[in-house]
Structure 1
Amino acid sequence: MIVLESIEQTERLAVIIGETAKASDNLVLTGDLGAGKTTLTKGIAKGLGIEQMIKSPTYTIIREYPQGRIPLYHMDVYRVESGAADLGLDEYFEGDGFSVIEWGNLLKEALPVDYLEMLIEKDPTDLDKRLVSFKAFGRQAEALEARILAQWEQDHV
């Protein structure tokens, strides 16, 4: 588990994720409202070299940012109640970019086959802190998690 004690640490972790992401990597962000999912995505974009302003895709479901080292596909599926399999998300999941899926746990059977879930929780003793844990589903996700953790540890030695 990673304890993020400040917004700066949260942003640094997000940049690391962007720097270490590869094409067709998929990251599912899970956490309560206000946990920092969109803030993380903004930092991930920075790590990918995307300078465009990142907006939450709450109503559009998907926003594409093609101008980075690899494209960023930012999805927010909170409002997708049914028919997720009909949205064509697998084209993004298996494509040439990095997919970040807020509320991805709601996709159930429409989740990608291989993805890294990042659980972000508010620390109950200090609401400014975040507790982050990862769970890999598949080899590509395991490799992404290993790259993220190795870079995080290198930064915090």
Structure 2
Amino acid sequence: MSLLVILAHPNLAQSRVNKALKIALSSTSVVVSDLYALYPNFSIDIASEQDKLIKAKSLVFQFPMFWYSCPALLKQYFDDVLTYGFAYGSKGKALANKTFALAISLGAREGDFQGRFSLESVLTPFQAISHFIGTKYAKPFLTYDTGNLSDTALKAQAQAYQEWIKGLA
């Protein structure tokens, strides 16, 4: 497996944007791990998830931004799966030198993130995770103003996502 997309959307069936982005990946060799489909009760199979991470060269975390962060299951995933001795610590080098990227959908418009609360500052915790586990943080793929995205714009964004993914593989 070259590229693993860890998808974390609590209601993908009702999502217009993340569902379209996921569908755009179906014509690629990317492996998609849909956390909410796999673990609706939040009981993550840690060994299975760590195995997926080991096999991948690049990791993409795809999610909608909620309150300037990720959905709860993705936060739990980071806590439970990226453990000492696996992802960090003197012997925790399983993810070293892999690519770590984010694909985020936002209800906000691009210009809404300014000053102290720029998107770059909001994403600092994810950059810190990447640094801490020894991965290479890549420029994120962002879909803004999701509630107002036309069908044409969404189709173009899905195609752009495919191209962005190919660039990470």
Fold-level match, TM-score > 0.5?
Answer: no
Which has a greater percent of helix?
2
Larger radius of gyration between Structure 1 and Structure 2: 2
Which has a greater percent of strand?
1
